[in-house]
Chains A and B, each alone.
Chain A
Amino acid sequence: VSLSVRNLRLIVLLLWAGFLTWLWISGDVLRYLGPRTSWVVTFGALTLVIVTIAYLRSSTGAADARRPISGRESAGLLAMLTPILLALMLSGSSLGALAASKKLSTRGVDLASLAESLSSGASQADFLQIKAAADDPSSSGSLGISAGEQVDLTGFVMNAGTGPRAPFTLGRFYITCCVADAIPIGVTVEPTIAEGGFAKNTWLQVDGVLDKKGSSYVVDAERIEKIPQPDNPYLAFR
């Protein structure tokens, strides 16, 4: 018994329609795309569902419904399932310290203008504002960043310290359209109590006070708490 082209196509279409619908409904689309582009998943899911249902109902008389599938087309169609399988395999994963080391650093990125676009409506300083204020001290005032300010940051360990009191880099990826364009932005955290020594990629919530050291801001941590990865591990440029 051979599988027809139509039936294997239907399987692939069904799986992709289901996958995109799941991303859309569960909100997991934000693990892959930014809020600006997440609409494409809604569009793709709806289109694929309609196309799949129409194909299911209409093409029973087509030649493809009877034509046995070739090895080449089978391989091509099965290859289309690899993104779905990888997404399932890595369910809950996100870019981490390795990606941060490979991605274009913030050098050359106009953080101040990005930070200003983000700071409107923001209730508290975030990685972007802190980093931008350090890179361009003249923007500190408009960004509301100054030494002594209380901050509450949620991020992952990008660069681990060497001991419980050693400084480490806490950061977050900012994305524009998808994680392919993610930019890592980190801030140095100095534990004031012996509760550092966290491994790379550990998600933490850090409460502390901003301190100016040279041209950079660091966070003197008053409380560090391990937390699970947030539902949306990325922050977005608006």
Chain B
Amino acid sequence: MESQAVQFAPLEASPQPASVSSPPPRTVPIWQVSLAFWVLFLAVLAAHGLKLGNVAQVTTFGVIFASIVIEALPFILLGAVVSAAVAVFVPDRFFARIGRLPRRLQLPGATLAGFTFPVCECGSVPIGRRLISRGLHPSAGLGFMFSAPVLNPIVLISTWVAFGGGTRGAEMVAGRATLGFIVAMAAGFVIAGRGAELLRQVPSGDGCAAGDDHDHGEVLGRGGAFLEHLIGDALFMSRFLVLGAAASALMQTFVPQNILSGVAGAAVIGVLALMAFAFMLALCSEADAFVVTSFTAFPLSAQLGFLVFGPILDAKLAAIYGATFRPPFIRRLLLVAVPVILCGSLLFGAVVS
């Protein structure tokens, strides 16, 4: 097989572990798993009996939580399909060749590639992670991961449509694409600039996830290996999606959103407020433009901040990043993304108004 004949040459700048040796995990007897399942099932029955569905907080949390997961899970699946295809069907020599390119070419090239992949933020993380583990410079992998949810054609078209097309739609598309590209480049450059290890080590009990490029092909053939990677990636990401969705739903249940309305007219605070709102709502980037267009009390600069920040960092992404990347990934991302998006949004506002 071609992909096995050419061995990937490790890059000095991207010393990612291909696999991790850790102590064997403690195994769980089947009766314990069955017990946990039945406890969950009985909890549902008890909740029905106690009419917990009539408790407003439980209902609000549960409906929002389930809604975010139901909407995002198919996109994680889509990302896992692409990630598995990259792992199994793209030969090592391709990545070896790309990996030998200087970073000054890899980073903009990978970031621009975001224009071509119609995946939103949940789907781009497994792909970015896979690219890094296959030998792409980490900054380039991050550049792609941050840019794809903002720059992909579906997102840009939906942005144009949401803002009514015409000149205003074109301005918002241009602003979103330009600022998204700049932020993705800057974040990739700063976070992974020194080629430090980015990917978390994956405990062996977590299967073939998070950059584990062991070869299923010898046992299963390419189809089987593709499936193993797809399912490993999808399940690994989904559990953290569940965690992030729960955090977002909790915030939406207990934090009154009207506190935002009071700062709508303030230039700087308005942008920061809508960025915080984007973090809290955890919307899909392919639909977020339709939501933000209705917040007309906020200036266009704040709406642009919402559109660029949300696909790069929100509540569900924070959980997924936490599981995928080593700390202090999120802190560094915030340190880069917030000032760049704030300045870019304000500049955009000054230009278009």
Contact = CB atoms under 8 A, between A and B. Distances in A.
A135 B29 CA distance: 63
Contacts of B53: 89-93
B65 interface: yes
B28 A3 contact: yes
Interface string A25-55: 0000101110011001101100110010011
Contacts of A5: 207
Interface in A113-127: 114
Interface residues of B, number: 90
Contact of B64 (A63, A85, A105, A180): A180
B178 interface: no
Contacts of A101: 256
A177 B284 contact: yes
A95 B30 contact: no
A72 B203 contact: yes
B295 A78 contact: no
A110 B296 contact: yes
B261 A58 contact: no
A70 B28 contact: yes
Q: How large is the interface on A (under 10, 10 to 19, 20 to 34, 35 or more residues)?
A: 35 or more
A44 B74 contact: yes
A70 B74 contact: no
A2 B25 CA distance: 13
A115 to B, nearest CB: 11
B254 A102 contact: yes
A235 B297 CA distance: 23
Given A33-B71, A78-B40, A89 B62 contact: yes
B77 A99 contact: no
Contact of A180 (B207, B255, B260, B282): B282
A140 B29 CA distance: 67
A8 interface: yes
B239 to A, nearest CB: 4
Most chain A CB neighbours (cut-off 10 Å) among B28, B37, B47, B249: B28
Interface stretch (B186-194, B240-248, B344-352): B240-248
Interface in B279-308: 281-284, 287-288, 290-291, 293-298
Given A23-B70, A33-B67, A109-B295, A82 B261 contact: no
Residue from A12, A16, A82 whose CB has the most chain B CB atoms within 10 Å: A82
B30 A103 contact: no
A197 to B, nearest CB: 19
A89 B44 contact: yes
A141 interface: no
A193 interface: no
15 contacts: A1-B29, A1-B31, A59-B224, A62-B216, A62-B219, A62-B224, A81-B40, A89-B48, A89-B53, A96-B60, A102-B255, A109-B297, A177-B287, A178-B283, A180-B282
Interface of B: 25-33, 36-37, 40-41, 43-44, 47-48, 52-53, 56-60, 62-71, 73-75, 77-78, 81, 203-207, 216, 219-220, 223-224, 227-228, 230-231, 234-236, 238-239, 242-243, 245-246, 248-249, 252-258, 260-261, 264, 277, 281-284, 287-288, 290-291, 293-298
Interface of A: 1-3, 5, 8-9, 12-13, 16, 20, 23, 29, 31-33, 36-37, 40-41, 43-44, 47-48, 51, 54-55, 58-59, 61-64, 68-74, 76-83, 85-99, 101-105, 107-110, 114, 176-181, 183, 201, 237
